[in-house]
Amino acid sequence: MAMALPGSARRRVGRGRSNESASTAWAITAWIVGLIAFFPVLYMFLTGFKSEAEAVELPPKLVFNPTFENYADVFGIDFWPFFRNSIVASLSSTALVMLLAVPCAYALALRRPKKWKDVLFFFISTRFMPPAGAIVPLYILFSANGDPKLFGFGLDLLNTMQGLVILYTAMNLPIAVWMLRSFLEEVPRDVLDAARVDGAGLFREMTQIVLPMITPGLVATMFISIIFAWNEFFFAFNLASVGTSTVPIFMVRFVTGEGLFWAKLAASCTMGVLPIVLLGWVAQRQLVRGLSMGAVK
Taking CB under 8 A as the criterion, which residues in 52-81 touch other proteins?
56, 58-60
Query: Whole-number minimum distance, CB 170 to other proteins, in Å?
Result: 4
Q: Which uninterrupted H or E stretch holds 148?
A: none
Q: Pick from 10, 12, 6: which is nearest to 182 by CA?
A: 6
34 touches other proteins by CB under 8 A? yes
Query: Whole-number minimum distance, CB 69 to other proteins, in Å?
Result: 18
Of the two residues 190 and 281, which places its CB atom closer to other proteins in the complex? 281
**Interface residues for other proteins in 134-163 (CB under 8 A)?**
134-141, 148-150
User: 179 and 289 in contact (C-beta within 8 Å)?
Assistant: yes
Of the two residues 28 and 72, which places its CB atom closer to other proteins in the complex? 28
Tell me how far apart the alpha carbons of residues 90 and 229 are, in angstroms, rounded to a whole number: 5
CA angle 131-133-136, nearest 5°?
A: 95
Query: Whole-number minimum distance, CB 278 to other proteins, in Å?
Result: 9
Of the two residues 134 and 213, which places its CB atom closer to other proteins in the complex? 134
84 touches other proteins by CB under 8 A? no
Choices 76-84, 133-141, 191-199, 209-217 (CB under 8 A): range interacting with other proteins: 133-141
229 touches other proteins by CB under 8 A? no
Tell me how far apart the alpha carbons of residues 28 and 221 are, in angstroms, rounded to a whole number: 35
Of the two residues 81 and 280, which places its CB atom closer to other proteins in the complex? 280
Instruction: Give the number of other Cβ atoms within 10 Å of residue 217's Cβ.
Output: 23
Which of 8, 20, 40, 259 is close enough to bind other proteins by CB under 8 A? 40
Over the window 162 to 201, marking each residue x when it contacts other proteins by CB under 8 A and - when it does not, the resulting string is ----xx-xx--xx--x----x--x----------------
122 touches other proteins by CB under 8 A? yes
Tell me how far apart the alpha carbons of residues 187 and 192 are, in angstroms, rounded to a whole number: 8
Measured in whole angstroms, the distance separating CA 34 from the mean position of its chain's CA atoms is 23
Q: Pick from 146, 170, 149: which is nearest to 158 by CA?
A: 146
Instruction: Give the number of other Cβ atoms within 10 Å of residue 235's Cβ.
Output: 23
